Amino acid sequence: MESTVREKPLGEEILKNLYQGWQKIKAGLSLAHKNLSSQLRQQLFPDNLPLKQVSEEAWQILQQRVEQVIEEDWRDAMEGIYPVSLLFDADWGEFFQAYIGIWLDYPRTWQRIRLGNFQDLPSSINLDKYPAYYRRNFHYQSDGYLSEYSANLYDLQVDILFNGIADGMRRRVLKPLKQALQSQSRPRILDVACGTGRTLKFLRYAFPEAQLYGIDLSAFYLRKANEMLLRLFPQQLPQLVEGNAEHLPYRDNYFHGVTTVFLFHELPSPVRQRVINECYRVLQPGGVLVIADSIQLSDSPQLEAVMYNFSTLFHEPFYNDYIKDDFQNRLLEAGFDNIQEKVYGLSKYWIATKRG
């Protein structure tokens, strides 16, 4: 009997090895960076944060989760969900500029951590235009989300936090969206809380003909997104809007797909439901919502110490409530059905369809 196992072409095998090696280098450098910065923080700005001990089992699970994302990322690229070139995408000039900026900014960040100061925001900003839960230094990062300086550092900060797989976790929203919208020749897709535009960038590669939209509360992050997307896709710019996801400025039943990445853990509980309800409202009947956010206690109980330490060290005041939240019920309450849950890396995903 002939084997049905496909033999990989030599070029594909080499590319995969290069990608896996590249990701291992990123993971190793991220860990080294975090260890060094943590040691320096404790020497220069000592604190008594009540962090929990992470077990050996948890570290092994984290390593397995990183490898899982790398494998899924490669598999989806091989299936044509997005180009293989995205796996090696890097802007080295921007990387080095951001990396130097992170180190130069650490003394201010560490001082905020030591003092528990999470309301150190630019005095030039009219804070009244933002909801109260947004007016803070999430992650204790300088200026919160309210400056160009913050926007320039954010993506690299997140990638270091996730040991080099942040983009791989973002790209996990693409396959379920593509499967759901395969009958649409030119779908309208909205990315809620689009930030600096990285998910929109991946959406453009996965959906070259789509009409893309992005909304975010931060004009500074939107400006960063616009600059990057204009450079990459000068003829296919998404429509970017400064606005609040609790009140999406779009008409009912308009979009074929809606994505939101790393938003809900930074929202108070009542706001989460309002945002989900708004996503339901603007979707067409049969449209799909794909949420990517942090893991939760229900799916990753062995990583409870990791989750606790994240909320403590990075000023995430709504996170401990988020990790106990029941999104299945929230989605059902809004009217969604065909709800699926998946976990990749340190992220959890909900895929839900609007009834119709």
Write out pLDDT tens, residues 322-334. 999 999 999 999 9
355 Cβ neighbours under 8 A, 6+ residues apart: 285, 335, 336, 337
- Would the pLDDT of 113 be above 90? yes
Share of residues in the chain with pLDDT > 70 (%): 98
**Cα(194)–Cα(148) distance, rounded to whole angstroms?**
15
- Once rounded to an integer, what is the mean pLDDT over residues 101-107? 98
In this prediction, residue 5 carries a pLDDT of: 46
Contacts of residues 303-311 at CB distance under 8 Å and 24 or more positions apart, as own/partner, are 303/58, 303/61, 303/62, 303/346, 304/52, 305/52, 305/53, 305/54, 305/55, 305/58, 306/54, 306/58, 306/62, 306/346, 308/51, 308/52, 309/51, 309/52, 309/54
- Once rounded to an integer, what is the mean pLDDT over residues 97-114? 97
- Would the pLDDT of 290 be above 80? yes
Dihedral sign (CA 298, 175, 288, 230) = positive
In this structure, how many other beta carbons lie within 10 angstroms of the beta carbon of residue 118? 17
Contact predicate 248/237, CB 8 Å: no
- Would the pLDDT of 293 be above 50? yes
pTM for this model (two decimals)? 0.95
Contact predicate 263/289, CB 8 Å: no
pLDDT digits (tens, 9 = 90+) for 115-172: 999 999 999 999 999 999 999 999 999 999 999 999 999 999 999 999 999 999 999 9
In this prediction, residue 8 carries a pLDDT of: 65
- Would the pLDDT of 282 be above 80? yes
Residues paired with residue 292 on neighbouring β-strands, in sequence order = 261, 349
In this prediction, residue 7 carries a pLDDT of: 55
**Cα(5)–Cα(155) distance, rounded to whole angstroms?**
39
Closest CA to 121 of 140, 106, 102: 140
- Exposed, middle or buried, 23 (CB in 10 Å: 0-12/13-18/19+)? buried
**Cα(256)–Cα(189) distance, rounded to whole angstroms?**
6
Task: Please give the C-alpha separations between residue 253 and each of 284, 287, 354, in angstroms, as whole numbers.
Answer: 4, 9, 10
In this prediction, residue 162 carries a pLDDT of: 97
In this prediction, residue 49 carries a pLDDT of: 92
In this prediction, residue 2 carries a pLDDT of: 45
In this prediction, residue 1 carries a pLDDT of: 41
In this prediction, residue 11 carries a pLDDT of: 83
What CATH number is given for 171-354 in this structure? 3.40.50.150
In this prediction, residue 9 carries a pLDDT of: 77
pLDDT digits (tens, 9 = 90+) for 255-281: 999 999 999 999 999 999 999 999 999
**Cα(229)–Cα(46) distance, rounded to whole angstroms?**
41
- Once rounded to an integer, what is the mean pLDDT over residues 94-102? 97
